[in-house]
């Protein structure tokens, strides 16, 4: 059974609809992420789960029970925000013990649980330090450890790493996943950082203007985006104008960027002759060679190198088609002694496998 279920949640501020009918369900033990740009309603949704706001309509079920009438402090969950909110005059140990003291646990039970918690998140070395003697990442680890110490049903995290620098953030990704796995607590994580969402989550809900555009595993979201918005928001993506130019049983042919054609499956006859949309394909799914490679079903056409960007593990090429369309292609730099593949103005052949992309009509 789902631990948390949101049913058609709506929240308005004056005449502005911040959350516009969100339904989703989260399983026990998941690392679930709400991902979306600034202002899309992530924090508002989290605050309703925490009980700091109430929905105008819809239901929030925790373990199958409506929690509408439970005030925030009675909900079996904690929230971690961007700022650390540790007690400055308390050591790490006392900070972590605080929720248990408030809940009137006895001293030996507190000691036992706090020691267990400190070692499970590897804070032993810092246990007697004060918050000002810790780095930002360490402070945030303490804040999370404190939130997990009484084993809440849910931990809500609102951009908890956004105050940290990029390197520390990456380190904290590993720590967060470990803390989540060890505690078994269900995490609901909010971020606008798509790479963070993909790296951490068991599932991701991609939000846009108060709705969930797509919900799925990181792999599904990345490789099978359902809308233009999701394809564009997550990772790099070529989004090429496409139109159905021919329709046959179970298949349609797309004319793409007025430059080449691809035939794709059309199982439920979703697409008709003339249907317009975009062919979305990731840069790393595109191949480029010196010679044409003719293969069944695969588009192969000439392009010219417009420029390239060295990324270390790969090089991102921009290829120009005759009509001015630009196609980005990420080539891996994993071949030894290979500094670059092509130079500006080189003529190359691009090949695109229709199975590597998605035809999006929304």
Q: Is 79 in the site for Mg ion (CB under 5 A)?
A: no
Number of residues engaging ligand ATP in binding (CB under 6 A): 12
Smallest distance, ligand ATP to C-beta of residue 13, A: 3
- Cα distance between residue 228 and residue 76, in whole Å: 38
- Cα distance between residue 331 and residue 313, in whole Å: 9
Residue 180: name its binding partner from Mg ion, ligand ATP, none (Cβ under 5 to 8 Å by kind): none
Candidate segments 42-50, 77-85, 90-98, 254-262, binder of Mg ion by CB under 5 A:
42-50
- Cα distance between residue 46 and residue 22, in whole Å: 12
Cβ–Cβ under 8 Å, residues 61 and 217: no
Going by C-alpha positions, the residue among 153, 162, 227 that lies closest to residue 197 is 162
Sign of CA dihedral 251, 255, 256, 262: positive
- Cα distance between residue 348 and residue 346, in whole Å: 6
Which DSSP string corresponds to 95-129? Answer: HHHHHHHHTT--HHHHHHHHHHHHHHTT-GGGTT-
Residue 194: name its binding partner from ligand ATP, Mg ion, none (Cβ under 5 to 8 Å by kind): none
- Cα distance between residue 284 and residue 150, in whole Å: 45
Q: Pick between residue 99 and residue 160 the one whose CB is nearest to Mg ion.
A: 160
- Cα distance between residue 178 and residue 79, in whole Å: 18
Residue 13: name its binding partner from ligand ATP, Mg ion, none (Cβ under 5 to 8 Å by kind): ligand ATP
Single out the residue of 33, 43, 183, 214 in contact with Mg ion (rule: CB under 5 A). Answer: 43
Q: What string marks each residue from 170 to 209 as x (binds ligand ATP by CB under 6 A) or -?
A: ----------------------x-----------------
Q: Pick between residue 30 and residue 53 the one whose CB is nearest to ligand ATP.
A: 53
Q: Pick between residue 44 and residue 201 the one whose CB is nearest to ligand ATP.
A: 44
Helices and strands in the chain: count of H runs, count of E runs: 8, 20
Q: What string marks each residue from 261 to 300 as x (binds Mg ion by CB under 5 A) or -?
A: ----------------------------------------
Smallest distance, Mg ion to C-beta of residue 295, A: 47
Single out the residue of 3, 9, 32, 42 in contact with ligand ATP (rule: CB under 6 A). Answer: 42
Q: Pick between residue 35 and residue 257 the one whose CB is nearest to ligand ATP.
A: 35
Edge-to-edge strands of the sheet including 65-66? Answer: 16-27, 2-13, 57-62, 65-66
Q: Pick between residue 33 and residue 43 the one whose CB is nearest to Mg ion.
A: 43
Candidate segments 35-43, 74-82, 259-267, 293-301, binder of Mg ion by CB under 5 A:
35-43
- Cα distance between residue 303 and residue 297, in whole Å: 19
- Cα distance between residue 163 and residue 85, in whole Å: 13
Interaction site with ligand ATP (CB under 6 A): 13, 16, 18, 36, 38-44, 192
Interaction site with Mg ion (CB under 5 A): 43
């Amino acid at each position: 059974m789902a631990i948390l279920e949101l049913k058609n949640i709506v929240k308005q501020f004056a005449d502005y609809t911040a959350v516009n009918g969100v339904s989703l369900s989260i399983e026990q033990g998941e690392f679930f992420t709400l991902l979306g740009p600034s202002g899309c309603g992530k924090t508002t949704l989290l605050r309703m789960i925490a009980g700091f706001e109430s929905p105008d309509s819809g239901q929030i079920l925790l373990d199958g029970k409506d929690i509408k009438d439970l005030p925030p402090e009675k909900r079996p969950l904690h929230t971690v925000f961007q700022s650390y909110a540790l007690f400055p005059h308390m050591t790490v140990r006392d900070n972590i013990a605080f929720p248990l003291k408030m809940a009137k646990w006895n001293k030996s039970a507190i000691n036992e649980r706090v020691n267990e918690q400190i070692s499970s998140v590897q804070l032993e070395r810092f246990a007697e330090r004060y918050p000002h003697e810790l780095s930002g990442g360490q402070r945030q680890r303490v804040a999370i450890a404190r939130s997990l110490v009484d084993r809440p049903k849910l931990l809500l995290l609102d951009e908890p790493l956004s105050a940290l620098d990029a390197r520390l953030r990456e380190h904290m990704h590993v720590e967060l996943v470990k803390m989540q796995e060890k505690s078994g607590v269900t995490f609901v994580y909010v971020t606008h950082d798509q790479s963070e969402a993909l790296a951490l989550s068991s599932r991701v809900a991609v939000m846009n203007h108060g709705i969930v555009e797509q919900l799925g595993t990181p792999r599904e979201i990345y490789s099978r985006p359902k809308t233009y918005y999701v394809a564009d928001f997550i990772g790099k993506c070529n989004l090429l104008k496409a139109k159905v130019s021919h329709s046959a049983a179970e298949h349609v042919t797309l004319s793409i960027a007025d430059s080449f054609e691809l035939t794709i499956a059309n199982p439920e006859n979703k697409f008709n002759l003339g249907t317009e949309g975009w062919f979305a394909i990731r840069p790393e799914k595109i191949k480029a060679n010196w010679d044409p490679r003719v293969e069944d079903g695969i588009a192969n056409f000439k392009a010219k190198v417009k420029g390239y960007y060295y990324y270390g593990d790969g090089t991102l090429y921009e290829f120009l088609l005759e009509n001015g369309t630009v196609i980005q292609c990420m080539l891996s730099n994993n071949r030894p002694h290979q500094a670059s593949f092509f130079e500006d103005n080189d003529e190359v052949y691009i090949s695109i496998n229709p199975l590597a992309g998605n035809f999006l009509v929304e």
